[in-house]
Chains A and B, each alone.
Chain A
Amino acid sequence: MPEMNTSSLPDLIFTILFFFMMVTTMREVTLKVKFVIPAGTELEKLEKKSVVSFIYVGPPTDNLRAQMGSSTRIQLNDRYAEPREVMDFVAAERKGMTNQAEQIISIKADQHTQMGYITDIKEVLRKSWALRINYSASRRN
C-alpha cells in the first residue's frame, strides 16, 4: 500500500495557525484582581482593539490576598494603582495610538465594587479628556 502523501500537512497547519493569529488577541496582562462583570442587554462590541485600554477593578486574586488584603483595588497594566495614576496611564496609552481622538477606556469592574471607586476613576478620566468609556459587561437575555 502506498504511503499517504503528507507533504501538504504543514501548510494546512500553518493556515490554521494564521487563522487563529488573526481572530484572537494576545492576553496582555496577568490579572491581579478578580472580578465578575455585570450582565446587561444594551451592549456594544469593542471593534477596534487598538484604541481600547482596560482598567480592572476588584478585590485581589486569591493568591495575592495574603499580602494585599481583600479591599477593592485598581489594576493598570501589570500592577495595582491609585485612582490618580489613571491620568498617566491614559496619557501613556494615548501616545501609542494613531487616532488618539477615538481612544476608549474599558472599565472591567466587579459587580460588588462600591461606586466610590468608579466615580473617582471617572473623575480622573474626565480630567484627562478620555471621555469615551465602556462598562465591560456580559450579555444576558
Chain B
Amino acid sequence: MAFQHSHASHCESGVMSSMLRHHGLPMSEAMAFGLSSALSFAYLPIIKINGLPLVAYRMPPKFIIKGLQKPLGLKMRFETFRSPKAGERRLDELLDAGNLVGMQTSVFWLPYMPEDLRFHFNAHNILAYGRDRASGDYLLSDPVVETTVTCAPADLRRARFAKGVLAPRGLLYYPEGKPLEPDWARVLPKAIKKTTRILLDSPIPIIGVRGIRRLANAVERLDGQGNPAASKMFIGQVVRMQEEIGTGGGGFRFIYASFLQEAAERLARPGLDELSDRLIDIGDEWREFALATARMIRDRDPLQPTALAARLRAIADREQAFFRDLRRAA
C-alpha cells in the first residue's frame, strides 16, 4: 500500500496515527493521543534546558507509542544501535523490505526544519517510508510538516545518533503484526480514567494539577527576584512549551478535547461532548495566559509575575474540577 502523509500537530501522536492507518486501522491523531492517555502537566525544576526548568503538557516521550500497544493488541518492536553504521544498515534493510519505520531524532540536525525552531531536542519522531534511488536521500514523513520531505543520509545519521538528554541511539520502531479494532466500550473509559489519575492523583506535587500550582508559586517568586530579563526567560519558556512545541494549541488541551468528541460518538455518550466543550474553554484560557505572558515579555504590559501566577491558579482550579467531572463521566 502506498504511504499517505498527513499533517498533525504533535510528532508522536502523528507518527503513530499515520503508522496505524498504513496498517489498515483508521485512527485520528487525537484518538492516538487520547487512547494512550498522553495528556498531562509536569513542572520539572530539576531538569534544566539551557538553564530553564522543563515544563511539559504531556507524558514523556515514547508514552504514546508504548501506550497504544495494549488497547490495540499491538506489539511494537524497538531497536537501538551502538554504532551509526549498524543503525543505518538496519534502516535500509527495513525500508528495502517495504516497511514503514518510525524513528527518534534530534530536531537540531534535521535540515528541513525552520532555522529558528532547531533546538537540541532529541525526542522528535518521524517516519521513513523509502529512499530516493538517484540521490540516496531518505523519504521522510514528519507529521508536523505539511508535506513529505527528504533528508540526506549524513544529516539523518546525525539526527538519529545525537547525544545528550533523551539520546535516541538510532531508535527505530515498527509494529509486529496487525493492529486490531479495539473494544471501544472497554478501552476508552479505561484510557480516560488513566488521564484523570495522572492529572489528579499524582503522588509527587510537580505532576498534574498540583504541578500547575507549583509552577504558579515559582512564577510568583520571580517578583522578588529583581531580575526582569531572567524572569522573562522563565515565563517565555513556559509559553514555548505550551504553544510552539507541537501541541495543537493550548498545551494539548484542544487535541484532547477532540479525542473526547470522538469518544462521545463511539460510546454514544453526549455527556463527553459537554466535557469536551469545557476543556476547549480551558484551552482558550491557557492561550490567554500565553498572550498575557508574551505582552509582558515585549513590554506592552508591565511585567507582573503575580498576575500570571493568579491566572495559572485559576486554570489549576478549573482543571481540577474538570478532571473530577470527567472521572465521574468515564
Do A and B belong to a common assembly?
A: no
B positions within 8 Å CB-CB of A: none
A positions within 8 Å CB-CB of B: none
